[in-house]
Amino acid sequence: MSQASIATAQPTAAGYRTGGLHSLMRRRSTIAFLMCLPLLIIILGLVLYPAVYSMWLSMLNRRMTAFVGLNNFTFLLSRDTFQMVVMQSVFFAVTAVVLKAVIGFVLAHLMHNIPSGQQRIWRGLLLVPWVIPLAMSTLGWWWLFDPSYSAINWALTGIGLDPVPWLGATWWARISVILVNTWYGAPFFLIMYLAALKSVPEQLYEAAAIDGASAVQKLIYVTLPMMRNIISITVLFSLIITFANFDIVRILTNGGPQDQTHLFATYAFQVGIQSGDIPLGAAVSLFMFPLLAVFAYFTLRGVTQRSKEQM
Amino acid sequence: MSVTTADARTVARRPFGGSLHRQRMWALYGSYAALIVFVIFFLIPPFHMFITSFKTSAEVSSMTGNPWIVRNPTLSNYVELLTAPNFQLFFWNSAKIAVCVVALTMVISILAAFSLARMRFWGSTVLATGVFLTYLVPESLLFIPMFQITGALGLINNTWSMLLLFPTLSVPFCTWIMIGYFASIPKELDEAALIDGAGWMQMLLKIFIPVAMPGIIAATIFAFTVAWGAFLYPMAFLYSADQMVLTVGIVSELIRADVFQWGKIMAGCLMAAAPPVIIYAFLMDYYIAGLTAGATKG
C-alpha cells in the first residue's frame, strides 16, 4: 500500500524540484513519513498498543467481565509462589549475567592474545552455542541432565564423584538453568568485548607502557574505561534477555521442583495461557516492566553522558 | 626528558630480553590451553546430541555403558524423521514463515532506515529512539496481550499468525542496524545522485542498497535466526500439530510419547539447528558484524 503511494509520489517530487525549496522539503518529508509507515504501524500497533492493552487486561477479573483495579497485583504480591518467582528471576538474571560477563571478558582477552590469523577458527567454535536455536540446545541439555541416564553423572562417577540430581533438587535445578543460560549467552559477550578490545587504539597501551604501567594497571586504566560503553550496553541487552527468558526454564524444569525455578515468563505462561487466567498472567508479565525500565534508564543515561563527554 | 626515558627503557629491557620472550610464549600457550577448556565446555552439548542421534532406541533405553560413545551407529532416526509427514510439515511451516518474515522485515526496515537516516521529517529522531527502545522490549512482556489480540483476529492456532508476531522481534533491530549502515554512507554520494536527477527511490535502490549490502546480509541473517528459533510465541499460540513450527513441534510432539525416543529427539534438534548453523558457517563475518553493529551504535 505505502509502496504504491511512494511510487506515485516520486515523479511529482522530481517535477517540483524547480518549484521552490519549500515544496520540495514538504514532498520529501511526506515520502519519508510514508516510508516509515510500516515501521510505525508495527511499533504502535504491535508493541505499544499491546503494552497498554496489557495494563488494561491486568486490571480485569479472571473471566474478564469486571474491572478490579489493582487487585491482581496485590493478590500476586501476597502469594508465596509469586514472591519466590520475583526472587528467583532476580537471582537467575543477576547470577547468569555476571557469569556470562566474566566468562566473555576472559575469553575476549584470551582471543586477543592469540595471533589474529588463528582467531577466526576459535571464534567459530566458541560461537556455536549462540547459533543453535535455544529451544533445541536446551533439549540437548535436558538429555545430559536426564535423571536415570545422565551423561554428566556418568562422567562424574567415572572420576569418583557422587551423581548430582540436576533437575530434581531445588538448588541443583536453579544451578542447572543458570548453567545452561551461561553456556548459551557467554559467546555473545565474547563477540561484543572482542570488538571493543580491537577498537582500543594501540597508542594508549604504548603510552601506558612508557609510563611503566603493569598489565593490571593497563586493564584498569586503559581497557576498562575504553570499553565501558560497550560493557554497559551488552550487560543491558543480556540482562533484559536473561530476565525475560522463557525457553530454558520451560523445557528443562517447567518451573519445578515445586515451582521453585519459575521465572516471570514461565510463570506468566503457566498462569495466563495454561490455567487460562489471562488478566493474572498479564499482571505477572507487567511486573517485569518497572524492573527493566529502571535499569535501562540508568544504563542508557550513563552511556549517552559518556558519549557526550567524549565528543 | 624523552631521551632519559628512552635510555632507561633500553637499559631496563636488555637483561629481561630473553625471559620476556619466554613469558610471551607461556602467555600464548596458556591462552590456548584455556581456550581449549572453554571450547570443550561449549561443544559438549552439541557433541552429545550428535552422538545420541545415531543411537538406536534399544541402545539409549538400555542405559548401560558409556553414554559418550555410540556402539551401533544407525541413521534410522534421521530417516524416520525425514519420512514422517508431521516432521516434514513442521519443517515446511518453519521455512515458509521464516522466509516470509525475512522478506517482510527487510522491506519494512530498509525503507524505514533509509528515511530515518537520510530524509529527516517531523518526529524522525523520536522515532529512531523509539526503534531502539522497542528492540529492548522482550517478547515475554507482551505475549499475553498478543494472545488476546490474535484471538480477537481469529488467528490463534494458525501458523500465519507468526507473520504478525515475529516482525515485532526482528524489525526494530534490523531497522536499527540499517540506520547505522545507511548513516555511514558519505553524503557526497547522494548529492551526486541528486545532481544526476535520481529520485529517492532510485537513490535507495541504486546506491544505498548496493553500498550497504554487508549490513543487509547481517540484518537478513538476524531476521532469519529470530524467525527460525522463536519459541515462546509458537509455544503459546499454536497447539495443533498441523500448525506447529519446528521448535514447538519437536518439543511438544516428539516428547508427547510415553517413552522418550531420545535418539529421534536429538536428530530432530540437530536438523532444526542445521539451517542457522549452516548460514553461520558460511557467513560468520556478516553475522558478527551485525551483532556488534547493533550494540556499538547504541
Is there a contact between A288 and A264 (Cβ–Cβ < 8 Å)? yes
Contact B200 A13 (CB under 8 A): yes
| A45-54, B56-65, B273-282: segment of lowest average pLDDT | B56-65
| Within-domain flag for A75 | no
Decide if B134 and A47 are in contact by the 8 Å CB cutoff. Answer: yes
Q: Render pLDDT for A199-248 as a digit per residue (tens, 0 to 9).
A: 888 888 889 989 888 888 888 898 888 888 888 989 999 999 999 999 99
Is 50 exceeded by the pLDDT of residue A190?
Answer: yes
Give SS3 for A67.
Answer: strand
What's the pTM?
0.87
Cell 636488555 belongs to B14
Higher pLDDT, B1 or B17: B17
Q: At B82, phi and psi to the nearest 5? A: -65, -25
Q: Does residue A196 surpass a pLDDT of 50?
A: yes
Higher pLDDT: A7 or B41? It is B41
End-to-end CA distance of chain B: give it in Å, rounded: 42
How large is the angle between the packed helices A80-113 and B2-53, nearest 10 degrees?
A: 120
Locate cell 553500498: which residue? B211
Interface contact B116, partner A, CB < 8 A: yes
- Residue span of the structural domain in which A151 resides: 80-310
- Smallest Cβ–Cβ distance between A51 and the set B38, B142, B200 belongs to B142
Q: What is the pLDDT of residue B288?
A: 83
Would you call A124 and B284 a contact, using CB atoms and an 8 Å cutoff? yes
Best of A6, A131, A136 to mutate (most B CBs within 10 Å, chain B): A136
* CA-based nearest residue in chain B for residue A36: B112
Let me know whether A86 and A196 are in one domain: yes
* Residue A47 shares a structural domain with residue A146: no
CB contact under 8 A, A57 and B235: no
Count of structural domains within chain A: 2
The verdict on A106 and A156 lying in the same domain is yes
**Separation between Cα atoms, residue A152 and residue A231, nearest integer Å:** 33
One domain for residues A158 and A201 = yes
Interchain contact A207–B (C-beta under 8 A): no
Choice among A8-22, B118-132, B143-157, B247-261 with the minimum mean pLDDT: A8-22
Contact between A110 and B34 using a beta-carbon 8 Å cutoff: yes
- For residue A257, cis peptide bond before it (omega within 30 degrees of 0): yes
| Closest-CA distance of chain B to residue A170, Å | 22
CATH at A88: 1.10.3720.10
- Contact state of B112 with A39 under an 8 Å Cβ cutoff: yes
Q: Are residues A295 and A223 in the same domain?
A: yes
Residues A26 and A124 in one domain: no
Range list of H helices, B63-122: 76-83, 85-118
Q: What are the tens digits of pLDDT across the range A102-123? A: 999 999 999 988 888 888 899 8
* ipTM for the predicted complex: 0.86
Amino acid sitting at position B168: T
**Considering only CA atoms, which of B38, B23, B114 is closest in space to residue A111?**
B38
Statement to judge: residues A34 and A87 lie in one domain: no
Hey, what's the cell of B156?
A: 490463534
Listing DSSP states for B204-238 in one string gives IIIIIHHHTHHHHHHHHHHHHHHHHH--HHHHHH-
Q: Give the side-chain half-sphere CA count within 13 A for A150.
A: 19
Q: Give which of A8, A30, A33, A39 to mutate to test B binding, by max B Cβ within 10 Å.
A: A39
Residue A72 lies in a domain: no
Beta strands in chain A, from DSSP E residues, in sequence order: none
Residues A42 and A184 grouped into a single domain: no
Segment B228-250 shows an average pLDDT of 91
Q: pLDDT tens for residues B163-208?
A: 999 999 999 999 998 998 898 888 888 888 888 888 888 888 888 8
pLDDT in tens, B88-105: 999 999 999 999 999 999
Nearest to A90 by CA among A201, A206, A230, A244: A244
Residues A105 and A240 in one domain: yes
Verify that A253 and A135 share a domain, yes or no.
Answer: yes
Output the furthest CA–CA distance in chain B (Å, rounded): 81
> From the CA atom positions of chain A, what is the Rg in Å?
25
Q: Which residues of A touch B141 (CB under 8 A)?
A: 51, 54, 244, 285-286, 288-289, 292
**Which of A24-28, A251-255, B41-45 is most confident?**
B41-45
Cβ atoms of B48 and B71 within 8 Å: the answer is: no
Residue A3 pLDDT class (50, 70, 90 cuts): very low
pLDDT tens-digit profile of A71-99? 999 999 999 999 999 999 999 999 999 99
Q: What are phi and psi of A110, to 5 degrees?
A: -60, -45
Looking at chain A, which residue has its C-alpha nearest residue B126? Answer: A40
Q: Which one has a higher pLDDT value, A292 or A2?
A: A292
Residue A183 touches partner B, C-beta closer than 8 Å: yes
Does A68 reside within a domain? no
Residues A129 and A263 in one domain: yes
Phi and psi at A67, nearest 5°, equal -85, 125
Decide if B109 touches A, using CB distance below 8 A.
yes
The predicted structure's pLDDT at residue B9: 45
Element (H, E) at B28: helix B2-53
Domain identity same for A43 and A166: no
What rounded mean pLDDT belongs to chain B? 85
